[in-house]
Structure 1
Amino acid sequence: MISVSNRPLRHLERFDEASRGVYGALELLPLVAVRNPVALGAIIIAAVSLAIGPFSQLAIKTYACQRLGEGGNQAATITTANRIDGSRLWGGIRAPDFRLDMTLQSAMQDSVVNPSKDSNINSLYTCSSGNCSFTTYADNANQPEAVKISHASVGLCSRCEDVYDLAEVNEYTAVGHSSFTLPIPANNLIFKDTAFEIRLGAQFSDTYLSVRNTGNLRWARKVVSDDMMNRARWSFMNLTIMATSQNHCEKHDDGNVTCPHDCDPEDSSCHFGPTAWGDPTDIVAATCIVYPCMRYYTAEVKNGKLSEKLVRDSPLQQQIPRDLWSAELEMTLSNGVNLAPWRGVQRPCVVNGTLYTSSNMSAAAKLNEDQTTLVLDHEKDFLAADPNQAAGYANVTAPQECVAELPFQYIRAFYDRRRDLFDAQCIRATRYSDDGLYCIGTSGNEAAFTGSYLVSFLRNRTTTFETIRDKIDSMTMRLTREMHIAGLGPRGSSKAAVAGQVWENTVCVSIAWEWLTLPASLCGLCTILLVWTLIQHGSSKRVPVWKGSILPFLLREHPGIEKLELKGLRKAAGGLEVKLEMEEDRKEPRSESRDPREDRAEGDLMSWI
């Protein structure tokens, strides 16, 4: 920058060196810092600005993401079931000849032998992109996200409770064996002559597993929750299972096992500690119920696989106008008995864009009569009611799309087959082998019972309450799947379905704003310096000239310099010679520039920079 003030010659040398390399530029910094802080700031910004590129790259990242699909070919649906196609699930044309289809019978047995927590309904959904979601709804505004549901279907549900604390051990010294029993009234059993017990030490007739239909659950009231007692009012299968188990035993490091009912070595009156397969044993005892229900789900499809989560369930109620005390479902087929189905109301439920909940279900009464169904439904908070009091009912008019129904024939077929499927005792088959068990029906007719699959409860010679519960849950899930496949819509014609959202894979950009702090700061500082420079030079009478070399200074007096083009400047510079000398009077350097083709031109060196 050329100005009117005189400057030392060494400044000219430094300026020239600065124009030729980095080292020379660094030598010039102290001079600039003192005389022109604005220029120093610009230098610092220019140096630090080299980091803008890397910082900007770190700030912008790409990642795989999803967006809602567009176009007419996008589809996301899950098939639901309000009713079932009875012809696919039971046989017989009139009462009492109602039989479960072999598909259901084999499903029950297979689910006990090979339990699974997967609903396996991959054939009942569509998702064109392989990634779909389904909107969830709440029954009221205060419901947490965890209990919102996307859809519901009719099905079967189960509950199990641990009743081990009710078990009693009996020692029979006269006959040399011991037994475990539960306080179940004989009238609750289908075959009252066959004891419900685990009998050990009787050689050829040791009973290691006993599965019985045990009627209502009043006998287990001390250990069964109110929730399960209230659900049991609408159950059609109440099972109690006892089996040998070391689950309550203590296993020692030396390999020995100590069980709660072992004989005390100091007790001379104890002779027969319970053993199974030659080892000390105890038992596990569980009571379970199976009931028709409305199953509420959330679902999503990810990478082509449907994930369906059971959120909650609600028992269906037999459509007989009466108060119900316990499991007293009307299964008789005498004359005059109404073969009433089981029904329930889905809450929440979306019909043609309208959300029906517990608070506005009454609005369905305004619909046409052929669009609604009258349901004898549960009273509010029925699962928290006192099990010792009768369960009432409420008349609810609901849209047909919100009603689930199971026919009497289906429930009756299960009711009649429960004896053959889950009423047996499994005995150690010492007459055949040392390890095997064989199961016979409690009627004593071994040929009429095909329940060998029950032995799977004692896989690895022991079992737990959790194992029993998982097998029963697996059975109801598998049966629900078969019902789902045979499902029908609310009017019994076509299948029903809920629609979802299709998500497409794409690439998204995220910005990490913290990495943009440096570029933004430099931009702000640069703006400040520019404004400062404009103000400073606007208020000054001296007009600076910015150059990156001393050549313009040396050619400032060349004739016609302002008219020369780039080629002419190169020619003029090529013939230029500069001579620096000291003036004798002022002892200051003096410069001379000469063109060999012209006369010598002299002049005082003006200050620069």
Structure 2
Amino acid sequence: MESSTKYEAVQNAEECTGQIVMETDQEESILLAWWKEILAIVVAIGTMIGLIKLLLFYNNKELPKWKGNLTLNFVASLLVVLQRGMLMIVIVEVISNSKWSWYRRRRPLKDLITIDDAGKGPVSAIQLMFRLPSNLLAILAAAVAILSFGMGPLTQQAVQAVPCSLVSKGARASIPVAQNVDHMSFRYGAHSYTLKPASVAKMFSGLTSPDGTDWKLDADCPTGQCTFKATYNITHSTMGICNSCIDVTSKVENKHNEYNLTTVSLPGSTRNITSGSDAIGVTNEYNQSWTRGMETHFDRVAPSAFSGLTIMSFTLNGCIPNGTDHLPSWYGSICQPGLENNPYYTMNVVASSCVIYPCVKNFYGTVSNGKFQETLISTVPAQEFKPEDPFGKITIINSPCVSDNQTLDNTVDISTLPNNAPNTFQIDILGRNVSVPVNCLYQMSGVDALAFGEFFNEYFDNSCSFYDRADIDSILCTRNNWYMNTLYNGGFASHASISAAVNRITDAATNMFRLSGLNWERTAPANVSGDVLRETVCAKLQIQWLLFPITLLSLSAMLLAATLVLEFPQNGRVGAVPVWKSSMLPLLYHGLGKLDDEPRDNFPRTLKELEKRAEEVEVRLGMGETHWGLIKEGLIIEGRTPQEQTKARKTEEGHVNEG
């Protein structure tokens, strides 16, 4: 750009003074004058955006392992240092430039040093805030300079290192399930089948050892932390054995015999127990129609059952000791509601009716701290069991199920699927053959179901007698009924304890299915795969700690914008102060002129002496008698208060205006 500056020799008619006058008509662009600061604020904003994106990218992820042992916190610190450096470029220039605007009016010369030093350190910035409270722009910029020291520590707080679990690539977890169950029994006669000894042992272990581990199963999880994909809160499904028990104590009938003993029984049941001689009795009854109408779910699943159990027991549950006894006993206790027509014994009676049936069990499972935990979410019962046709298959359509990324949650959804589709099996639904995805089908052999029925018929049709009437939990169970001690529950049997015991039997049977069952095609064991988690350290973003540097960045941008707005009206005006910022050249070219009565310096003054002299002089930027620059307006008279000095200054300005 060519300069439009012109130099003209000014001559007097009488003599040539030799004075050179410089004129300019060039108007400097405000944006060009501040381009470095604008670029700095843009870089600072870009740095902040990059920092936020970096932290968001690694949020809840494993801390990166970079070359040279660089850490995420170190990189974040570097970005903050860069951002603060860019902000200080802006802040220092805003403060420095404000001193020239400050001297558009008459000000103490000392203010020049106060403003100029403010960008050099926090102490000088604080001094500026107290000495020049009316210079708002400089004060705000000084405040940003002081607060910027907190950007680093607060940004460090934004990145927290927390323990976390992440998926381990290349490793898989699995839970055993059974989709097709067969060969759980063997034939020993015409239409006679019995369960294999391993199955019998598992079920009795479940009944008698609630805390045992031999009847339970575990998931395959190498690290002890594994998760499995869930649909409708269901992670895995399996063919199994279910039960439903209802409290039928209200149906108990009691009779008083000639020996003053009470006999209790249930309608439709062949088993009864008598106080004083019997303790507990169990009857295996396939037909339990006498319970119909007592509980809706029980009525719904009863037709699917291959066995039914009725359990009655005398119990001290609901009894409290009378007198000085610590525990209730068969004599002299207070029982609610108590057994009627029973003059010799104080006791209650409990009765439960249970049905055992094939079903699909839907679970939610996880492995945490090396422990496999699964929760039963829902069950789907089989259709009506027909013992007269043991060679058929018991097939159950699970609901909900997932096939080809499509969730089917009822038989209506399944019945709408196209026929003969791949990976389907023909089954009757609502009177028509439907191609059902094999993922939704579970099956067991009718022969195995018959063998389960034989098992309950053989072992669960007995009673136990009192062995020592003075001992609460002493009962005599012989031969095949030894297990009934568990149902008796030490003389405190309840419907809840009976239901829990029967539930352990069916859980143990289901676990046997899962350990020996196969997939639908019977080609391999069935299982559900999951993710193996590994313990590591992750980055956790605490975004609230970034609000502080974001606020300082925003304030710096606004201060720069305010400076540009204030400078724009002055741009190009005759006699206006140009954009000088922190340059020293204006002081060299437009420095303080000499007054005629001011003593001449024959040697350089110390900084302290210069500061002392500056405190006694008031100046402004403007056109003097000989040059444009810092013009002395007067001396500050020692002893005057600041208020008196201001009043004298205004008086002098008034006299000048009148002249």
The offset of 1:32, in angstroms, is: 1.9
Q: Distance in 2 between matches of 1:127 and 1:504?
A: 11
Note the 1:357-436 alignment, pairs <5 A: 357=409, 358-362=411-415, 366-367=419-420, 372-376=424-428, 396-430=434-468, 436=474
Q: 1:368 to 1:38 in 2, by over 3 A?
A: closer
The offset of 1:423, in angstroms, is: 0.8
Query: Which residue is 1:563 aligned to?
Result: none
Comparing 40-49 and 299-308, the one that deviates more: 299-308
- Select which of 151, 171, 187 maps to 1:52: 151
Q: Supply the AA of the counterpart residue of 1:367.
A: N
- 1:515 match: secondary structure: helix
Query: Which residue is 1:461 aligned to?
Result: 491
Query: Which residue is 1:565 aligned to?
Result: none
Does the Cα contact within 8 Å between 1:134 and 1:299 map onto a contact in 2? yes
**Does residue 65 of structure 1 match 2:164?**
yes
Query: Which residue is 1:75 aligned to?
Result: 172
Q: 1:208 to 1:31 in 2, by over 3 A?
A: same
Does the Cα contact within 8 Å between 1:119 and 1:481 map onto a contact in 2? no
Q: Cα deviation per residue 1:186-231 (whole Å; 9 max; x = unaligned)?
A: 4xxxxxxxxx223113xxxx10111111332222235x31221221
Q: Supply the AA of the counterpart residue of 1:498.
A: V
Q: 1:292 to 1:9 in 2, by over 3 A?
A: closer
- Select which of 121, 127, 133 maps to 1:33: 133
Q: Distance in 1 between matches of 2:161 and 2:279?
A: 62
Note the 1:488-499 alignment, pairs <5 A: 488-499=518-529
**Does residue 214 of structure 1 match 2:285?**
yes
Q: Cα deviation per residue 1:13-61 (whole Å; 9 max; x = unaligned)?
A: 9789989998776555454222x22111112222333443443333333
Q: Distance in 2 between matches of 1:216 and 1:133?
A: 43
- 1:183 match: secondary structure: coil
Query: Which residue is 1:344 aligned to?
Result: 396
- 1:347 match: secondary structure: coil
Does the Cα contact within 8 Å between 1:154 and 1:404 map onto a contact in 2? yes
Does the Cα contact within 8 Å between 2:516 and 2:525 map onto a contact in 1? no
- 2:282 match: secondary structure: strand
Q: Distance in 2 between matches of 1:260 and 1:521?
A: 72
Q: 1:574 to 1:464 in 2, by over 3 A?
A: farther
Query: Which residue is 1:115 aligned to?
Result: 210
Q: Distance in 2 between matches of 1:581 and 1:200?
A: 116
Q: 1:27 to 1:252 in 2, by over 3 A?
A: farther
Q: Distance in 1 between matches of 2:362 and 2:611?
A: 98
Note the 1:426-505 alignment, pairs <5 A: 426-430=464-468, 436-440=474-478, 449-505=479-535
Q: Supply the AA of the counterpart residue of 1:214.
A: E
Q: 1:56 to 1:9 in 2, by over 3 A?
A: closer
Does the Cα contact within 8 Å between 2:464 and 2:481 map onto a contact in 1? no
- 2:163 match: secondary structure: strand
Query: Which residue is 2:40 aligned to?
Result: none
Does the Cα contact within 8 Å between 1:181 and 1:197 map onto a contact in 2? yes
Q: Distance in 2 between matches of 1:518 and 1:154?
A: 59
The offset of 1:291, in angstroms, is: 0.6
- 2:139 match: secondary structure: helix
Does the Cα contact within 8 Å between 1:33 and 1:40 map onto a contact in 2? yes
% identical aligned pairs: 22
Q: Say which structure, 1 or 2, has more relative contact order (CA 8 Å, 6+ apart).
A: 1
Higher helix share: 2
Q: Distance in 2 between matches of 1:17 and 1:65?
A: 49
Note the 1:528-543 alignment, pairs <5 A: 528-540=558-570, 541-543=576-578
Query: Which residue is 2:228 aligned to?
Result: 134
- 2:286 match: secondary structure: coil
- 1:161 match: secondary structure: strand
Structure 2 residues not aligned, in runs of 5+: 1-98, 571-575, 594-602, 620-629, 636-659
Q: Distance in 1 between matches of 2:420 and 2:163?
A: 47
The offset of 1:232, in angstroms, is: 0.9
Query: Which residue is 1:259 aligned to?
Result: 335
Does the Cα contact within 8 Å between 1:119 and 1:478 map onto a contact in 2? no
Query: Which residue is 1:287 aligned to?
Result: 353
Q: Distance in 2 between matches of 1:20 and 1:374?
A: 86
Note the 1:277-356 alignment, pairs <5 A: 280-317=346-383, 329-332=385-388, 339-351=391-403, 355-356=407-408
TM-score (norm 2): 0.65
- Select which of 160, 183, 188 maps to 2:267: 183
Does the Cα contact within 8 Å between 1:429 and 1:435 map onto a contact in 2? no
Q: Supply the AA of the counterpart residue of 1:542.
A: V
Does the Cα contact within 8 Å between 1:162 and 1:287 map onto a contact in 2? yes
Does the Cα contact within 8 Å between 2:108 and 2:618 map onto a contact in 1? no
Q: Distance in 1 between matches of 2:484 and 2:215?
A: 23
Note the 1:79-98 alignment, pairs <5 A: 79-86=176-183, 89-92=184-187, 95-98=190-193
Q: Distance in 1 between matches of 2:128 and 2:382?
A: 91
Q: Cα deviation per residue 1:158-205 (whole Å; 9 max; x = unaligned)?
A: 010001111123222x2121122212254xxxxxxxxx223113xxxx
Query: Which residue is 2:298 aligned to?
Result: 228
**Alignment RMSD:** 4.4
Query: Which residue is 1:240 aligned to?
Result: 310
Does the Cα contact within 8 Å between 2:618 and 2:634 map onto a contact in 1? no
Note the 1:148-227 alignment, pairs <5 A: 148-172=233-257, 174-186=258-270, 196-201=271-276, 206-222=277-293, 224-227=294-297
Q: Supply the AA of the counterpart residue of 1:293.
A: C
Q: 1:435 to 1:543 in 2, by over 3 A?
A: closer
Q: Cα deviation per residue 1:587-609 (whole Å; 9 max; x = unaligned)?
A: 97699xxxxxxxxxxx996999x
- 1:488 match: secondary structure: coil
Q: 1:115 to 1:19 in 2, by over 3 A?
A: closer
Q: Cα deviation per residue 1:52-106 (whole Å; 9 max; x = unaligned)?
A: 3443333333333344554xx23243332122241xx323365334221111222
Q: Supply the AA of the counterpart residue of 2:304.
A: W
Q: Distance in 2 between matches of 1:524 and 1:298?
A: 50
- 2:133 match: secondary structure: helix
Q: 1:581 to 1:539 in 2, by over 3 A?
A: same
Q: Supply the AA of the counterpart residue of 1:482.
A: M
Q: Distance in 2 between matches of 1:347 and 1:476?
A: 21
Q: Distance in 2 between matches of 1:20 and 1:298?
A: 64
Note the 1:568-583 alignment, pairs <5 A: none
Q: Distance in 2 between matches of 1:374 and 1:579?
A: 105
Q: 1:483 to 1:50 in 2, by over 3 A?
A: same
Q: Distance in 1 between matches of 2:356 and 2:185?
A: 18
Counting matched residue pairs gives 504
The offset of 1:470, in angstroms, is: 0.5
Q: 1:347 to 1:499 in 2, by over 3 A?
A: same
The offset of 1:459, in angstroms, is: 3.0
Does the Cα contact within 8 Å between 2:128 and 2:142 map onto a contact in 1? no
Q: 1:422 to 1:579 in 2, by over 3 A?
A: closer
Q: Distance in 1 between matches of 2:606 and 2:590?
A: 11
Q: 1:339 to 1:531 in 2, by over 3 A?
A: closer
Does the Cα contact within 8 Å between 1:211 and 1:422 map onto a contact in 2? yes
Q: 1:556 to 1:217 in 2, by over 3 A?
A: same
> Which is higher, the Rg of structure 1 or of structure 2?
2
Q: Supply the AA of the counterpart residue of 2:464.
A: C
Q: 1:165 to 1:530 in 2, by over 3 A?
A: same
Q: 1:605 to 1:220 in 2, by over 3 A?
A: same
Q: 1:182 to 1:39 in 2, by over 3 A?
A: same
Q: Supply the AA of the counterpart residue of 1:134.
A: F
Q: Cα deviation per residue 1:252-271 (whole Å; 9 max; x = unaligned)?
A: 7965731146589xxxxx6x
Structure 1 residues not aligned, in runs of 5+: 138-144, 187-195, 265-269, 319-328, 380-392, 441-448, 559-571, 592-602
